Structure 1
Amino acid sequence: MEAAIASTASALRCSPNPTLARQQRGARAVGLVVSQPQSRGVRCERSTHRVSRAYAAVGTKGGDAGSVGMKKKRLAVFVSGGGSNFRAIHGAALRGELNANVVALVTDKPGCGGAEHARDSGIPVVVFPNSKSAPEGVSTDELLNTLRELRVDFILLAGYLKLIPVELVQAYPRSILNIHPSLLPAFGGKGYYGLKVHKAVIASGARYSGPTVHFVDEHYDTGRTLAQRVVPVLANDTPEQLATRVLHEEHQVYVDAVTALCDDRIVWREDGVPLIRSRTSPDKYT
């Protein structure tokens, strides 16, 4: 593991979160449930902790207090390639547009562009899983322990091509997002990634495509849809041209969705469909 994380066990002090409580009361009035990280509606802070210098640098960069009085969420981003969506999310966090800090980059390809950007930015890089091509990789249990040591609230998949282990999905319920370059459920599942998606869209004769942000379950691209953007497929499109336009929308819709997640503005209908509460009009959802 590239970032050695050291900490001591510590007690947790928990108190009710008044902001979340108000959101829950309003949501219940219209049959919705406010999404929340693992704190289950309480704000918990460690009373004592000791961390390595690498961890401390990431945890304090930009501060932990959110601009609207909310504690900043802690994000782990998973990538397998250049990581353009990771860069978009990290940039939004650095500019203060996102109430979060990226505290870890997880990758199955330690030499990829996303990992290089993380190293250049002082973000710890964790290689997962262990494989012949990446013998320095950690096991699922080791990854879970690292994420817990880093106090990660949410996991974001940004071009990560491996299937997420069921243990990770169970440890972070309703707390893992992925972005896919098609309008799911169309053109999703194992083997649909990168230009393969856009080639299939064009070959099908579909008139529209676009990115989908969805919650992650135990399978490829089958979790509940959170947000989508529509991109017209032009008559003479090549896969590369379509990919460029879809990627432009990916960078916007993913940042918007993660912003809502970190602002505790995700609500769940009784049928299990997630919605985004408007920041300016709390009674409106998308």
Structure 2
Amino acid sequence: MTFRSETSAVPPIVLNDGNVIPQLGFGVFQVPSDEAYPVVKNALEAGYRSIDTAAIYGNEEGTGRAIRESGLPRDELYVTTKLWNSEQGYDTTLRAFDESMKLLGLDYLDLYLIHWPIAVADKFVDTFRAFQALKQDGRIRSIGVSNFTIANIERVIAETGEIPAVNQVELHPRLGQRELRAFHAEHAIATEAWSPLGQGTLLDHPTITAIAAELDRTPAQVIIRWHLQLGNVVIPKSVTPSRIVANFDVFGFELSDQQTAAIDALDDGGRIGPDPDTFTMGA
């Protein structure tokens, strides 16, 4: 285990490679490059120790600077970035990784993800093989995927002999991903939720606001707690300092079985982002 989880209040999730990832992290999707530094700095000061970015976000440089200048020991931080679709393929993956690491200014990466399968391009297996080589070289601790379907993952396992440590997917109360989560559990793959708050669309839902009132918590705290109790790794994003702090304050209460079931019942397959089977941007 490389990440020193004992230094954080956030529960650790043990991955199938023996490494650990903090169950609660901070995402920087749609955070402009010039805002990434102060936003990540605020998140680290609030207690977050896991930061999730991606090449396509265009903010690896500001994110990396905040991490490096935080004064926190590197082994108390968990850093994830993702390979963009246009860079898939063995050799191009190696070059793209070098560029991300240059922007981040880090010696190693905790987790590297293939951002989308882009099955039509038929490159994700070769891409994962490049990930394996980088892991073998000690430059990445854990390797995984993002937005992969069960069929995509089965192919990776069959053709590379390795099970991804993580699959980061759109997951929120309206898109519970039950079948995919069950598959992950069978293969000891950690389920990581992006857009965990449904990009804010669930914060005024009557079910969520009623539970929040019962618990004297914010709607966002209720949804994040729901994720944690499901066992998901969750990476909420905010640029507002008060919300960054509030979204981290989710360990002093629990949802009842009845409250959890009420949130589960909101699942209507309401996908906000692209469908992984048809998304081809950057192919």
Q: Normalised by the size of structure 2, how large is the TM-score?
A: 0.31
Structure exhibiting the larger radius of gyration computed from Cα positions: 1
TM-score, normalized by length of structure 1?
Answer: 0.31
Q: Which one has a larger percent strand, Structure 1 or Structure 2?
A: 1
Identify, as 1 or 2, the structure richer in helix: 2
